[in-house]
């Protein structure tokens, strides 16, 4: 009886831990197993703290990381279209539901979609997630913590994507 | 304009970022398979020197390993931020593109 | 032959291949560092500085191709609006050169690599074929296709 009670307490504790308290809250096994290639980057708070000590020459990156607790990136590439289903994608969205998460951007253009989710706690954004789906690729980005979106937007410039008017300028050298 | 000649000018080798060579050498020094140090012959003073060198090597290896870890964390973090920023901007660009297309459609339908 | 010397003598070449292929300074540095570390692991089999240079070039190309495949290094919108490259290049028409670099970065990866080897490294055809494992005819026709695409993007300004 005592053991059952402890298990119930443990289960209740686990259930009460908000989504996002782990380094990577997503379970994407159902998609990863179908991918031809996958890339997985997980940076927990210790790694980010260590990185911060070696970012003296990158002040923009350093200031961007203030308040960030974790970053997870999952990129999947599939051999052909249709390898992952709309249900697979919905299972990802189901992990980003109210009350904590809300979808703030959703674009659908032909067979490509982009969604941005924000986690709000106490009136402040404490996490963002981006889910970008294409017929043969799926990309998921999760950032735990408060992040300056304008500055983050500036980091995309290194991938050849033009600046959004009003967004942060390219990081200094 | 001669395309091939212009391409040669445009594609000149860029300078690597400052400190690139130093970072490579630091990582290489921390690799586990760096060349072994030569054996020292016996003799008390040499043994003391060997022990001092060994202590220094251990300390430097520790520092070197931390340097390597830190550099690795730095690189992964910068890469992650670049990818995250890129995905964010792509999503925003898609929104702009869709809105612009809708505005265009409305104007055509007038 | 010291590893440090090989790094200093070849860093511009290795980083340049990665940068022109990937168009991202952090990813290019990552790739370039990995290439040199691989050299470090294989120092025992390197016979001369020339051998090291060829080895490094081949490794830089193949690692850049792998990275291009992995990170979707394809700009999503017209590159005409992409930001300026990391390293300024002296001489010539800076705006045209900038535009050309961005257009090259938008080429399909197999064509992009050819352009880098032909115009950054100025390799002979035999060297390009050996580096990429291509038949001469394939290499030449791919480069012609790349130049055709670039001319098309430049709007017919370029003379053949």
Retrieve residue C88's tokens. Answer: 């300024």
Highest average pLDDT, of A98-102, B61-65, C84-88, C125-129, comes from: C125-129
Give the pLDDT of residue A161: 38
Averaged pLDDT for residues C64-72: 76
Q: Is A160's CB within 8 Å of C72's CB?
A: no
The two counts, helices (H) then strands (E), for chain A are: 6, 6
Task: Find the range with the poorest average confidence among A33-37, B88-92, C16-20.
Answer: B88-92
- pLDDT-derived band at A14 (thresholds 50, 70, 90) equals very low
Does the pLDDT at position A47 exceed 70?
A: yes
pLDDT per position as a tens digit, A69-114:
999 988 888 888 899 999 999 988 988 887 889 998 888 877 888 8
C-alpha distances in Å from residue A63, one per residue of A59, A60, B8, C58: 6, 5, 38, 38
Whether A100 and chain B come into contact, CB under 8 Å, resolves to: no
Does the pLDDT at position C154 exceed 60?
A: yes
Does the pLDDT at position B39 exceed 70?
A: no
Contacts of C13 (CB under 8 A, 6+ apart): B13, C53, C56, C57, C60, C121
Give the pLDDT of residue C68: 80
User: Pick from B70, B87, B98: which is nearest to A130 by CB?
Assistant: B87
Give the pLDDT of residue A2: 44
User: Pick from C25, C82, C105: which is nearest to A162 by CB?
Assistant: C82
Residue whose entry in the numeric block shows the structure tokens 């040199």: C36
Size of interface A-C (CB pairs under 8 A): 41
Averaged pLDDT for residues A136-144: 90
| Rounded-to-integer distance, Cα A46 and Cα A43, Å | 8
Least CA distance to A56: which residue of chain B? Answer: B74
CA distance A112 to chain C (A): 12
Q: Is C29's CB within 8 Å of B17's CB?
A: yes
**Where does residue C106 rank: exposed (0-12), middle (13-18), buried (19+ CB within 10 A)?**
buried
Whether A88 and chain C come into contact, CB under 8 Å, resolves to: no
Mean pLDDT across chain A, nearest whole number?
A: 76
Which residues from B are below 8 Å from A73, CB to CB? 80, 83-84
Q: Is C7's CB within 8 Å of B21's CB?
A: yes
Q: Is C26's CB within 8 Å of A161's CB?
A: no
Task: Find the range with the poorest average confidence among A23-27, A160-164, C31-35.
Answer: A160-164
Give the pLDDT of residue B47: 56
Does the pLDDT at position B64 exceed 90?
A: no
Averaged pLDDT for residues A21-32: 78
User: Pick from B18, B70, B88: which is nearest to A152 by CB?
Assistant: B88
Nearest-5° angle of CA C40, CA C44, CA C46?
A: 85
DSSP letter for each residue of chain B? -BHHHHHHHHTPPPPPPTTHHHHHHHHHHTSTTPPPPPPPPP-HHHHHHHHHHHHHHHHHHHHHHHHHHHHHHHHHHHHHHHHHHHHHHHHHHHHHHHHHHHHHHHHHH-
Does the pLDDT at position C81 exceed 50?
A: no
Which residues from C are below 8 Å from B28, CB to CB? 3, 36-37, 40
Does the pLDDT at position C128 exceed 50?
A: yes
Least CA distance to A36: which residue of chain C? Answer: C70
Retrieve residue C74's tokens. Answer: 């394809």
**Where does residue B69 rank: exposed (0-12), middle (13-18), buried (19+ CB within 10 A)?**
middle
Give the pLDDT of residue C142: 92
**Where does residue C104 rank: exposed (0-12), middle (13-18), buried (19+ CB within 10 A)?**
buried
CA distance B34 to chain C (A): 8
Higher pLDDT, A163 or A100: A100
Residues 47-106 of C with CB under 8 A from A: 69-73, 75-77, 79, 81-83, 102, 105-106
Q: Which residues of A17-47 are buried (b: 16+ CB within 10 A; e: fewer)?
A: eeebeebbbbebeebeebbeebbebebeeeb
Give the pLDDT of residue C36: 95
Which residues from B are below 8 Å from C7, CB to CB? 21, 24-25
- pLDDT-derived band at B98 (thresholds 50, 70, 90) equals confident
Does the pLDDT at position A124 exceed 50?
A: yes
- Rg of chain C in Å (alpha carbons): 16
Retrieve residue B1's tokens. Answer: 């304009």
Contacts of A62 (CB under 8 A, 6+ apart): A52, A55, A56
| Rounded-to-integer distance, Cα A125 and Cα A19, Å | 14
Question: Mutate which of A55, A107, A134, A160 to disrupt the C interface (most C C-beta within 10 Å)?
Answer: A160
Size of interface A-B (CB pairs under 8 A): 122
**β partners of residue A143:** A71, A128
Least CA distance to C76: which residue of chain B? Answer: B90
Strand extents, DSSP E, chain C: none
Give the pLDDT of residue A11: 36
Retrieve residue A81's tokens. Answer: 């279209």
- pLDDT-derived band at A12 (thresholds 50, 70, 90) equals very low
Q: Which chains touch B (3 or more CB pairs under 8 A)?
A: A, C
Does the pLDDT at position A63 exceed 60?
A: yes
- Helix, strand, coil percentages (3-state) for chain C, rounded to 5, are 75, 0, 25
- pLDDT-derived band at B40 (thresholds 50, 70, 90) equals very low
Q: What is the pTM of this model?
A: 0.55
- C3-154, superfamily in CATH? PhyR, sigma-like (SL) domain (1.20.140.160)
Mean pLDDT across chain B, nearest whole number?
A: 73
ipTM: 0.78
Domain spans, chain A: 31-159
Residue whose entry in the numeric block shows the structure tokens 């990802």: A92
Give the pLDDT of residue A123: 83
Which residues from C are below 8 Å from B8, CB to CB? 119, 122
Give the pLDDT of residue B110: 65
């Amino acid at each position: 009886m005592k053991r059952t009670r402890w298990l119930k307490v443990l289960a209740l504790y686990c259930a009460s831990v908000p989504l996002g308290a782990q380094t990577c809250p997503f379970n994407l096994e159902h998609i990863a197993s179908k991918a031809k290639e996958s890339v997985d980057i997980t940076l927990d708070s210790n790694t980010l703290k260590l990185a911060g000590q070696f970012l003296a020459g990158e002040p923009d990156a350093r200031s961007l990381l203030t308040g960030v607790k974790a970053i997870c990136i999952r990129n999947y590439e599939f051999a052909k279209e249709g390898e992952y289903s709309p249900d697979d994608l919905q299972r990802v969205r189901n992990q980003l539901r109210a009350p904590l998460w809300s979808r703030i951007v959703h674009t659908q253009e032909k067979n490509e979609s982009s969604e941005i989710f924000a986690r709000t706690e106490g009136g402040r954004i404490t996490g963002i997630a981006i889910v970008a789906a294409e017929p043969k690729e799926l990309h998921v980005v999760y950032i735990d913590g408060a992040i300056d979106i304008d500055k983050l937007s500036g980091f995309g410039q290194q991938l050849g994507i033009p600046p959004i008017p009003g967004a942060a300028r390219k990081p200094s050298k | 304009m001669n395309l091939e000649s212009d391409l040669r000018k445009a594609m000149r080798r860029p300078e690597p970022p400052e400190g690139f060579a130093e970072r490579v050498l630091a990582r290489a020094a921390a690799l586990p398979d760096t060349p072994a140090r030569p054996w020292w012959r016996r003799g008390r003073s040499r043994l003391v020197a060997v022990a001092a060198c060994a202590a220094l090597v251990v300390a430097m290896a520790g520092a070197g390993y931390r340097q390597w870890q830190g550099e690795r964390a730095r690189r992964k973090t910068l890469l992650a931020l670049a990818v995250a920023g890129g995905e964010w901007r792509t999503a925003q660009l898609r929104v702009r593109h869709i809105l612009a297309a809708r505005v265009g459609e409305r104007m055509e339908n007038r | 032959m010291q590893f440090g010397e090989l790094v200093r003598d070849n860093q511009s070449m290795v980083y340049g291949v990665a940068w022109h292929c990937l168009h991202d300074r952090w990813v290019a540095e990552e790739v370039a560092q990995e290439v040199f570390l691989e050299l470090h692991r294989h120092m025992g089999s390197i016979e001369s500085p020339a051998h090291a240079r060829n080895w490094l070039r081949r490794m830089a190309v193949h690692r850049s191709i792998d990275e291009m495949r992995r990170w979707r290094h394809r700009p999503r919108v017209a590159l005409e609006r992409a930001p300026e490259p990391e390293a300024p290049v002296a001489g010539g028409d800076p705006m045209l050169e900038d535009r050309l670099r961005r257009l090259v970065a938008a080429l399909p990866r197999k064509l992009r690599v050819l352009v880098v080897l032909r115009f950054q490294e100025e390799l002979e055809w035999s060297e390009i074929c050996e580096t990429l494992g291509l038949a001469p005819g394939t290499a030449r026709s791919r480069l012609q296709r790349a130049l055709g695409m670039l001319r098309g993007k430049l709007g017919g300004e370029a003379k053949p």
